[in-house]
Amino acid sequence: MVQRVTILGSTGSIGVQTLDVLALHPELYQPYALVAFTRWQALAEQCVRFNPRYAVLRDESAAEALRNHLSAIGSNVEVLGGDAALDQVAADDQTDVVVAAIVGAAGVLPTLAAVNAGKRILLANKEALVVTGQLFIDAVAKSGAQLIPLDSEHNAIFQCLPQHAGAQSLNSSAAGVRKILLTASGGPFRTLDADALRKVTPAQAVRHPNWDMGPKISVDSATLMNKGLELIEASWLFAMPSKQIEVVVHPQSVVHSMVEYEDGSVLAQMGTPDMRTPIACALSWPNRISSGAPKLDFTAMTDLQFELPDLQRFPCLRLAREALEAGGTATAVLNAANEIAVQAFLEERIGFMDIADCVAAALENIHAPDCKTVDEVLEVDAETRRFVAARVNKTD
């Protein structure tokens, strides 16, 4: 039976690679709805190639441009626009699988719409868990949605655990799990000293040595904030406290993460640094399909390095762990502050090391209480964004 797939963020790196995997298996998967923000020309090309039922753009003017273009070329793809449309296709009765790949907090609400509709969700939008935490996990449990991690590290952990059901059912003590070892490439500046880091440019920061990612995630990888967000995500996904999650820098990005057991065994998932592998795994689980990624050649590997992260040069990782351990909505503050600071860095309004300073200031100044609703969390998110934006404006 062909499964209908909705991709939230189809023009981004994860979305494009997901479509690559779907194209290898037309007998198994059919793109049902493709969702983007403003890039209507890229979405138009995807519509021509894959002919989904819906094409959705969050930006209304971009949606109108796409609608006119597709009408002119005789396409029957229906174009929708606005935030409500994202929620609509994520929860659509005809959707079997939702790939949650919108970058940042913008992906929280449509991902939650898919959760509340009880969908099978392939989660690449780590911010959904970073921002809403327990509220998200509770919604998954209530709706019966199936949550499969798509990030390479979390997908690796998922594969190495004795039960493949995620946070809702894992009992680490009963399963004999001692800790999770979350690997990090270290980013493009792993060997730079503090003085050199202060001079880093956006053009340098977006050139990741191993992975093909968008600009925001690439900068997060360079600051190690991406690993901090993944630390928070892993805690929620696998019901593991901070003290049982260790971050290990592994520059080759061959070992994607590991699980250590009480008997001393360590299970690792390995592969080439290609997101098509975890995408194919998540799509077909518990079965396996070809991904199109190159095979891992063990005879070509001469060295696999592992080292501890330097929290002095890369304080964002330390700040993320502190936010996780602080509880409340501290991780939502962390994420919102980072999003505004990273955008300011990409616009060359602040320096590379100022990103961590902005996040630290927000964590110190924004009240981060426990929240009972998503709306309350989003109010904290908005307050944080205003605070960091004002701080950035003062430095211009």
Q: How many domains does the structure of the chain reveal?
A: 3
Q: Are residues 53 and 145 in the same domain?
A: yes
Q: Are residues 128 and 219 in the same domain?
A: no
Q: Are residues 128 and 166 in the same domain?
A: no
Q: Are residues 22 and 77 in the same domain?
A: yes
Distance, CA of 178 to CA of 172 (rounded, Å): 7
| Closest-CA residue to 369 (of 333, 337, 339, 317) | 333
**Position 265, amino acid:** S
- For residue 224, give its domain range: 152-191+202-311
CATH number of the domain encompassing residue 8: 3.40.50.720
Q: Are residues 207 and 227 in the same domain?
A: yes
Q: Are residues 38 and 81 in the same domain?
A: yes
Residue 287 lies in a domain: yes
Indicate the SS3 state at residue 49: helix
- Residues ≥6 apart with Cβ < 8 Å to 305: 249, 250, 251, 252
| pTM, full prediction | 0.93
Structure tokens at 239: 């019901």
CATH number of the domain encompassing residue 331: 1.10.1740.10
Q: Are residues 156 and 240 in the same domain?
A: yes
Q: Return the CA Rg of the chain.
A: 20
Residue 89 lies in a domain: yes
Residue 321 lies in a domain: no
245 close to 239: Cβ distance less than 8 angstroms: no
Q: Are residues 107 and 38 in the same domain?
A: yes
- Residues ≥6 apart with Cβ < 8 Å to 338: 220, 225, 316, 355, 358, 359
What is the full per-residue pLDDT of the chain (396 aa) written as tens digits?
899 999 999 999 999 999 999 999 999 999 999 999 999 999 999 999 999 999 999 999 999 999 999 999 999 999 999 999 999 999 999 999 999 999 888 899 999 999 999 999 999 988 899 999 999 999 999 999 999 999 999 999 999 998 654 544 555 666 889 999 999 999 899 999 999 999 999 999 988 666 666 789 899 999 999 999 999 999 999 999 999 999 999 999 999 999 999 999 999 999 999 999 999 999 999 999 999 999 999 998 888 999 999 999 999 999 999 999 999 999 999 999 999 999 999 999 999 999 999 999 999 999 999 999 999 999 999 999 999 999 999 876
Structure tokens at 377: 């969390």
The domain boundary residue, chosen from 254, 285, 311:
311
Residue 366 lies in a domain: yes
